[in-house]
Amino acid sequence: MNIETSLQAMVKAAVAELYQLEAADAQLQIQKTKKEFEGDLTVVTFPFVKAARKAPEVIGDEIGNFLLAQHSLVSAFNVIKGFLNLTINTAYWMEVLNVLAADEQFGHNTTGKDKLMMIEYSSPNTNKPLHLGHVRNNLLGFSIAEIQKANGWEVVKTNIVNDRGIHICKSMLAWKLFGKGETPQSSGMKGDHLVGKYYVEFDKAYKAEIKALMEQNIPEEEAKRTVPLMRQAQEMLVAWEQHDPEVYQLWETMNGWVYEGFDATYKRMGVDFDKIYYESQTYLEGKSKVEEGLEKGVFYRREDGSVWADLRSDGLDEKLLLRADGTSVYMTQDIGTAKLRYEDYPISKMVYVVGNEQNYHFQVLALLLDKVGFEWGRDLVHFSYGMVELPEGKMKSREGTVVDADDLMTEMIDTARDTARELGKLDTATDEEVEQIASMVGLGALKYFILKVDPKKNMTFNPKESIDFNGNTGPFIQYTHARIKSVLRKAQEAGIQVPEAVDTSLTISEKEKYMIQLLSTYPAVVRQAGDEFSPAVIANYIYELVKEYNQFYHDFSILKEENEALKGFRLLMSSAVAKVIRSGMALLGITVPERM
């Protein structure tokens, strides 16, 4: 089915016959023909110059004639320097269209790899709500999981919730001291936002205490260390580790609020998990692996009782694994979490979707896992992505620093509703339809704008630009899908059948042939996105497809076409384009509307 591969085989046979050359794969280069030249696919002839001892132009001519004589696939050719431009028989493209139109799973590798990839993403702390950084993380994690599934992997989406530790105790302490029993019910606040509010309260009170101490001439360093609030938070952490009933209950209650809040955010964003791990249930595993390593002599204990790994011979630093008071650190729980995951699943590939500020952490983790005896440790993949910000001054949250994920989604959906109304797109829709479309378009805009960027790059999320109905945006693509669906509906209303297949002897234009060729590359695009872990590859392909389709739509008539066979062809091709748009957007976690 893949035409590049067939052409490679044909050229290989041609050069063997013509020049007695056993061509290697790297010598058989097939490219899409450049727009300014005639043809569909181009063979590069430079790699044969040495064996043929002829000029590249002559070689092009000879191979071209050979292919023309031997294969009905090629219907014409021209040579420009070392490039042999081949025109592929229209019947071939028509056959391609027939096959891909009939394939419901087109683009997906359904044979399967029979291998399991675990993808960790999101992984929040339970002391505050999700923010813009989590949004990028969640969208990337979800999309990559969908892309790998389409490439035949069995995927387990997982999340590690960092639900214990000093930062959690800070929110708990502030609530205990200043909360007056406030709950999500009593305040009408989402649970995660309520807990986040007390995290901020802690910080305020903490800073006030430091200031007070410094006014009594205590030096800043000492003030920070001895400030009563911080001491109380640390005591709370120790009490938690000892399962103090009161502290433990407060922890369960407040985390319960946070989970309710997170669930609502995930649901609205359209992301989910197959298995969630909690640090509170994995950190002890980590501790015992560290103790084991200590006995084996791969880690060492310092005089103050703290435990360390010396990674200097690996070109890294020394790394703290257990504090002097025996409490565990961020790294410790990751060792325990990894252990449990590998016990729970036959993992072939473990992927961590975590921001690039933690590059060093994962370099260290890989080495540590290896040292404690997990030979898979070194193979972990840290899918590292860049920062995301808003244009200056836009939608800063209450504290003025982070952009809240819930607020952002609300803002996007509101803007989508307003924009669609302004454009008169929702004039005949019911209230329910308006909400559905506003949510689809608002979130589609957000998701597409973030996912079309190379994950490694830092980026600015521009809400206004993202929702523009013209341009490389989610709404533009969604609108094109709805437009095709509307044509198909009109055909049906007029009693015109979309054929299941078309007559391959039909004559079509270059533009239409090109549309089929573009459609036919979708499976290769999905493969590339999987190999490179890049949703951006899908996004940019879909945009290209939509741009080309809109040109076609502008230049050709569909329902008004008088030739019935041609009308049937255009309907089938259009419905195939809609199918690929829907499929590609689904790999980005974006839904597309039937009407808009």
Binding site for ligand ARG (CB under 6 A): 120, 123-125, 160, 162, 334, 352, 354
Q: How far apart are CA 89 and CA 426, in angstroms?
A: 44
Smallest separation (angstroms) from ligand ARG to the CB of 334: 5
Q: Which is nearer to ligand ARG, 123 or 415 (CB)?
A: 123
Q: Which is nearer to ligand ARG, 321 or 443 (CB)?
A: 321
Residue in the shown chain whose Cβ atom is closest to ligand ARG: 123
Q: How far apart are CA 249 and CA 240, in angstroms?
A: 9
Q: Pinpoint the alpha helices (H) of 521-594.
A: 522-532, 535-555, 564-587
Smallest separation (angstroms) from ligand ARG to the CB of 121: 9
Smallest separation (angstroms) from ligand ARG to the CB of 137: 9
Q: Which is nearer to ligand ARG, 141 or 475 (CB)?
A: 141
Q: With the CA atoms of 250, 253, 254 and 255 taken in that order, what torsion angle do they form, in degrees rounded to the nearest 10?
A: 120
Q: Both ends of the chain: CA-CA distance in Å?
A: 35
Residue type (1 letter), 89 = N
Distances (CA, A) of 67 to 11, 42, 290: 8, 13, 66
Q: How far apart are CA 101 and CA 575, in angstroms?
A: 8
CB atoms within 10 A of CB 567: 19
Is residue 484 within 8 A of residue 575, CB to CB? The reply is yes
Q: Which is nearer to ligand ARG, 158 or 478 (CB)?
A: 158
What's the sign of the alpha-carbon dihedral 438, 441, 443, 445?
A: negative
Tokens of 453: 């960027």
Q: Which is nearer to ligand ARG, 220 or 389 (CB)?
A: 389
Q: Which is nearer to ligand ARG, 268 or 361 (CB)?
A: 361
Distances (CA, A) of 336 to 62, 183, 278, 323: 64, 33, 11, 16
Tokens of 329: 């650190």
- Residue closest to 286 by CA, chosen among 273, 276, 299, 274: 299
Q: Which is nearer to ligand ARG, 63 or 364 (CB)?
A: 364
223-252: string of b/e by CB count within 10 Å (b at 16+)? bbeebebbeebeebbebbbeeeeebeebbe
DSSP 357: G
Smallest separation (angstroms) from ligand ARG to the CB of 162: 4
Q: Which is nearer to ligand ARG, 66 or 352 (CB)?
A: 352
Q: Which is nearer to ligand ARG, 98 or 162 (CB)?
A: 162
Q: Which is nearer to ligand ARG, 334 or 404 (CB)?
A: 334
Distances (CA, A) of 593 to 441, 444, 476: 9, 10, 12
Smallest separation (angstroms) from ligand ARG to the CB of 471: 33
Smallest separation (angstroms) from ligand ARG to the CB of 124: 6
DSSP 377: G
Distances (CA, A) of 440 to 146, 272, 301: 19, 17, 55
Smallest separation (angstroms) from ligand ARG to the CB of 333: 8
Q: Which is nearer to ligand ARG, 123 or 419 (CB)?
A: 123
Q: Which is nearer to ligand ARG, 286 or 442 (CB)?
A: 286
Q: Which is nearer to ligand ARG, 56 or 165 (CB)?
A: 165
CB atoms within 10 A of CB 562: 7
Burial class of residue 116, CB neighbours in 10 A (0-12, 13-18, 19+): middle
Q: Which is nearer to ligand ARG, 265 or 473 (CB)?
A: 265
Q: Pinpoint the alpha helices (H) of 452-521.
A: 463-466, 474-493, 510-520
Q: How far apart are CA 139 and CA 589, in angstroms?
A: 7
Which distant-in-sequence residues (6+ apart) come within 8 Å of 551 by Cβ? Answer: 511
Q: Left, alpha or beta for 87 (phi > 0: left; psi -120 to 50: alpha)?
A: beta
Q: What φ, ψ does residue 155 adopt, rounded to 5°?
A: -115, 135
Smallest separation (angstroms) from ligand ARG to the CB of 336: 11
Please report how the helices 3-19 and 56-70 are oriented relative to each other, as an axis angle in degrees rounded to 10: 110
Smallest separation (angstroms) from ligand ARG to the CB of 361: 7
Smallest separation (angstroms) from ligand ARG to the CB of 412: 23
Tokens of 305: 């009782």
